[in-house]
Amino acid sequence: MRKILIINLFLPAILLTGGPARADGFAIGAGISTMGYGIHAATEVNSFLALRVNGNFGDFTIPDYGLLSSSLGGLDYDIDARMKSIGLLADLHPLGLSPIGGGFVLTGGVFYNQNEFDFSAVSGAGDTIGGVPIPAGTSVIANMTFDREFAPYAGLGYDGTFQGALPISFFLTAGVLFQGGPSVALTESSGTVPQANLDAEARQIEEDAQDFEYYPVVAIGLTISF
C-alpha cells in the first residue's frame, strides 16, 4: 500500500518534468531571450539528441541604470539593440533515458549573426570627441557590428522537448554567443569634428565594449511536439 501511495504522489511530477523520450519526432517552439523574440523547429534524432533551427529578432533598449553607457567612449550613450539571427543547433540530452533527468540539455551550434547595437548621445557643455570640443546639443550616433558573421554558440539548461509524456513542455537555458570583436562606425551632426577624432572615439568604444564579444544568452519559452 505504501508503495502505491508513493507512486501516486510522484508520477505526476515525473510526467511533467521528465520521462523517456516521446519519440514524436517534430516540435515547434517560441520564447523570449536576450537575443530577442525567438521561434524554432526541432526534430528528434534519438532519445539523446535533437536538431533545431532557431530564429531570433527584435529591437529593444538596453537598460544600464547609469553604469554601462558611462563606461563606453567619451559620452553618455543610450544603447539600442537590433537583433536578427538564425541558428542551427544540436541539443544533447545526456540523461535522455532517465525518468526525471531527461530534460537536462547541453547545446552547441552556430548562428548567422546580424545583431547590431546603436549608441546615441546628445553632447553637453564641455563634452569632447577624441579630445576635440564638440558643440553642446550635437547628436552623436555610433553603430556597432561584430567580426563573426557565423558565431558559435554553447549553452546548457532545461528543455523538456521530446522528454516528457505531455506534448507541451518548457525550456529555460543559458549560454554564450561568441560573436567576435566589435566594429564601430561613428557620425556626428555638427560637422566640426575631424574624421581622425571620430575614428578615435569609435576605437575607444570598441575597446570599452570588448565584453560584447561574449554575448550572454538567456532564453525561456514553450514547445509543442507532434
Where do the DSSP E strands lie in 74-123? 78-92, 104-113, 116-122
What percent of the chain shows pLDDT beyond 70? 86
Can you give the pTM of this predicted structure?
Answer: 0.81
Q: Which three cell numbers stand for residue 140?
A: 552623436
Where do the DSSP E strands lie in the chain? 26-33, 36-46, 49-61, 78-92, 104-113, 116-122, 128-129, 132-133, 139-146, 150-159, 168-178, 182-188, 214-225
- The type of residue at 43 is T
Q: How far apart are CA 61 and CA 28, in angstroms?
A: 28
Across 101-106, average pLDDT: 92
Q: How far apart are CA 55 and CA 132, in angstroms?
A: 43
Q: Using an 8 Å Cβ cutoff, are 87 and 41 in contact?
A: no
Helix (H) or strand (E) holding 205: helix 195-208
Least Cα distance to 92 among 156, 16, 24, 164 occurs for 156
Query: For residue range 151-203, what is the model confidence (pLDDT) as tens digits?
Result: 999 999 999 999 877 899 999 999 999 999 999 999 999 888 888 988 988 99
Give the per-residue pLDDT at 160: 92
Domains present along the chain, CATH in parentheses: 25-225 (2.40.160.170)
Give the per-residue pLDDT at 80: 92
Q: Which residue has the cell 526525471?
A: 100
pLDDT band of 2, cuts 50, 70, 90: very low
Give the per-residue pLDDT at 185: 93
pLDDT band of 64, cuts 50, 70, 90: low
Exposed / middle / buried, residue 123 (Cβ in 10 Å: 0-12, 13-18, 19+): buried
Query: For residue range 67-81, what is the model confidence (pLDDT) as tens digits?
Result: 455 567 778 888 899
